Structure 1
Amino acid sequence: MRAFTTAFCANVKAMAPFHGVVIAYTAAVLLIAASQGALVAASYQQYLANFGPLYFIGLPLVTTITHVLLWCLRSDRPGLRTMVSALPTLSGNIASAVVTLAMLILFMGSFTTFKTLMPVLMDGFPHDRAQADIDAWLHGGMDPGPALLQALDYPFLLNILQWNYMVGWMALAFIPAFFIATRKDASAIRLRYFLTFASVWVVLGSLLACLFLSAGPVFYADVTGDATRFGGQMQVLLERIGPTHRPYLWQSYVNGTIGIGTGISAFPSVHVGVAAMNAFLLWDINRKAGTIGFIYLGIVALSSVLFGWHYAIDGYVSIVVVGLLHVGLKRLFANRLPMPAAAAITSPNPATP
């Protein structure tokens, strides 16, 4: 029992800064929601219903089966007594990982709750025209989205990129968190990863998004009344890949409902921001993996504009801001919580684009 308590308390204490950020952010979101008369639990329930089975059943089951198979293949298998003696410490590590993943689910519920409130706080989406004009000015007087679609108008390619943007990105954004939370002997990189994760979502998806709230090209006609500027791009995409998530997001906004991924905001791009976060972290661990991460970042940034979810400047700003966050947290950890070389080498990649 003492070994369990020691391991559990040590890991929870090591992750205390992340837990503190989540609690403070959630408290702020709930206060804002209460002030708007919109105190609901829908987003928390849905994230628990969807992420709970993934983090607490599916991935643990896959990991356990993998470890058992690898153990059976080992010629130097540890004896039963050794395994039993290590069980309390292992249980403490697992219990602390459950706490970390539960805090991540709480964080995502708070993020979505605030995202759905942003149009209420900002009285709609006031910045689309300005951002679209800046985007066109930076790209020689033309909107980059329609131009990209004209150059890449191949249904097979569009469907691959669309699948990656909607499904592949989700897997690379959230599955690595499980393996980092459950990784032993990597407390410094674990804390750094989760603090970076939270910082990216809060700074990009909450603070900057609320201050410069826009809906993006896909909703440009709805929020500005101008159906011609991006109408051709949206019509071609509708014919090539279908309506995707557009009706779901718009109806959720109109009806004031909350669910997984609801809420509309374009500037800056969290999609690009998370891909940038993974690329920077991968670069610190392994240069080849980092190169792949940056290639993937380019694919995500291109896709965000191609499919009309974002203006190109949304991705540009995200990369710069995430780069600054990465450098700042890296220096903080270098000064206060240096990452052991062994942990950096043996830790799993934050993502494998």
Structure 2
Amino acid sequence: MLPFHGFVLAYTALVVLAAASQDKFALTAYQQYAEQLGPLFFLALPVVLISVRAMLGFIGLHRPTWQGVGRGFAEFCGRLASAALTITTFILFLGSFTTFKTLMPVLMGGFPYDHLQANIDAFLHGGVDPGPALLNLLGDPLLLQALRWNYAVVWMAFTFVPVFFIAVMREAEGVRLRYFLSFAFVWTVLGSLLACLFLSAGPAFYAFVTGDAARFDPQLQALLERSGPTYQPYLWQSYLDGTVGLGTGISAFPSVHVGAAMMNALFLREINRIAGFFGFAYVAVIAVSSVLLGWHYAIDGYVSIAVVWLLHSGLKRALGGGNKTAQATILIASPIPATP
């Protein structure tokens, strides 16, 4: 896992230098991520893992011989210790990611690319903004509430919970390293590099950054009436106040939501074609939701899918894709596999 640790340390150093150059140390998010994710990764999920192993042993599906109990327990504790270091680095990475995301409007002087990206989006869709068009098709209040809950809650669970179980898995070490490097590369390339170079706020904040309230406000008002308030105002107020917290920072292009789902779908396809099918179906749901709910332009998802596919293919060639036996051990070693 040294390449992953090294990459995160280098990325963190660059983020800290960026914060120092703007005298914005108050925008660092490390404490918030340690406080929020520490109990999840170092208490709740280990308890789940140990409980599942105990339950499997109780019902006879995972019952080692007495001779192997001591050796197996020592090996299990060793894997937990190794996973603790990986998870610590992972939390550090997320803190750096959010810190830089919060800094991007400072570095770029605002959000300069919304008008251009919205126009490109409309051009590619026959002169029509896809968000309002989707709302006309998928505007049922119950459906909107379900999609919003999935986008905010289920996506986070599918994105972050498997990280712990992959960190502690026993076999297919090459897959584990490739997964964590993929996670870091996807979030850095999509959410830091490309996002900063082409910084936009998205349809939800289009009126604030362009002064044009007529283009997307009807969509946002209809969403408010049919499915209730979101935390979009919280993000904008955090931006105005110059505060930082879990998940703060605004950027639309490209979509990390879609990118993370795509990354997991590609790994699922390596394990099982059926699992891969559901993974790609989930990518489609997230991509449509991101546009329908006003978070993104459609091109944000398109670019994310293409970039993640290129990153995944490149890492697979560089590190090796493993064989089907090694890939299958992800499912065996993890009570919760790397699902999107």
Same fold, judged at TM 0.5 (above): yes
Judge conservation of contact 1:93–1:184 (CA < 8 Å) in 2. yes
The residue aligned with 2:42 is 56
**So what's the TM-score if we normalise by structure 2?**
0.96
Q: Which amino acid aligns with 1:255?
A: D
Q: Which amino acid aligns with 1:107?
A: F
Q: Deviations over 1:232-268 (max 9, x none)?
A: 0010011112221111100110001000000000000
Question: Compared with structure 1, are the counterparts of its residues 143 and 345 closer, same or farther at alpha carbon in structure 2 (3 Å cutoff)?
Answer: same
Per-residue deviation at 1:333? Answer: 1.6
The residue aligned with 1:123 is 109
Judge conservation of contact 1:127–1:213 (CA < 8 Å) in 2. yes
Taking the aligned partners of 2:121 and 2:64, their CA distance within structure 1 comes to: 60
The residue aligned with 1:222 is 208
Instruction: Pick the aligned partner of 1:342 from 305, 316, 325.
Output: 325
Q: Which amino acid aligns with 2:255?
A: S
Per-residue deviation at 1:317? Answer: 0.4
Taking the aligned partners of 2:213 and 2:227, their CA distance within structure 1 comes to: 20
Q: Is 2:339 the partner of 1:352? A: yes
Taking the aligned partners of 2:16 and 2:267, their CA distance within structure 1 comes to: 31
Instruction: Pick the aligned partner of 2:298 from 312, 324, 346.
Output: 312
Question: Compared with structure 1, are the counterparts of its residues 92 and 351 closer, same or farther at alpha carbon in structure 2 (3 Å cutoff)?
Answer: closer
The residue aligned with 2:92 is 106
RMSD: 1.4
The residue aligned with 1:330 is 316
Instruction: Pick the aligned partner of 2:194 from 208, 211, 214.
Output: 208
Per-residue deviation at 1:282? Answer: 0.9
Number of aligned residue pairs: give it.
Answer: 336
Instruction: Pick the aligned partner of 1:95 from 81, 101, 124.
Output: 81
Q: Deviations over 1:21-74 (max 9, x none)?
A: 110000100011011101247511111111111111111111111111111121
Q: Is 2:23 the partner of 1:16? A: no
The residue aligned with 1:70 is 56
Taking the aligned partners of 1:313 and 1:350, their CA distance within structure 2 comes to: 29
Judge conservation of contact 1:278–1:350 (CA < 8 Å) in 2. no
Taking the aligned partners of 1:182 and 1:294, their CA distance within structure 2 comes to: 26
Taking the aligned partners of 2:16 and 2:316, their CA distance within structure 1 comes to: 30
Alignment of 1:174-253 (within 5 A): 174-253=160-239
Alignment of 1:291-302 (within 5 A): 291-302=277-288
Taking the aligned partners of 2:102 and 2:199, their CA distance within structure 1 comes to: 12
Deviates more, 1:69-78 or 1:171-180: 69-78
Taking the aligned partners of 2:28 and 2:318, their CA distance within structure 1 comes to: 36
Per-residue deviation at 1:345? Answer: 1.4
Query: Helix, strand or coil: the match of 2:25?
Result: coil
Alignment of 1:253-292 (within 5 A): 253-292=239-278
Q: Which amino acid aligns with 1:143?
A: D
Instruction: Pick the aligned partner of 1:172 from 135, 158, 162.
Output: 158
The residue aligned with 1:10 is none
Taking the aligned partners of 1:350 and 1:148, their CA distance within structure 2 comes to: 32
Judge conservation of contact 2:138–2:144 (CA < 8 Å) in 1. yes
The residue aligned with 1:9 is none
Question: Compared with structure 1, are the counterparts of its residues 227 and 93 closer, same or farther at alpha carbon in structure 2 (3 Å cutoff)?
Answer: same
Task: List gaps (5 residues or longer) in structure 2.
Answer: none
Q: Which amino acid aligns with 1:352?
A: T
Taking the aligned partners of 1:235 and 1:85, their CA distance within structure 2 comes to: 61
Question: Compared with structure 1, are the counterparts of its residues 164 and 328 closer, same or farther at alpha carbon in structure 2 (3 Å cutoff)?
Answer: same
Task: List gaps (5 residues or longer) in structure 1.
Answer: 1-14
Q: Deviations over 1:127-171 (max 9, x none)?
A: 000000000000000100000001111001001100000001000
Deviates more, 1:189-198 or 1:325-334: 325-334
> % of aligned pairs identical?
60
Query: Helix, strand or coil: the match of 2:192?
Result: helix
Query: Helix, strand or coil: the match of 2:299?
Result: helix
Q: Which amino acid aligns with 2:229?
A: P
Judge conservation of contact 1:177–1:350 (CA < 8 Å) in 2. no
Taking the aligned partners of 1:94 and 1:243, their CA distance within structure 2 comes to: 40
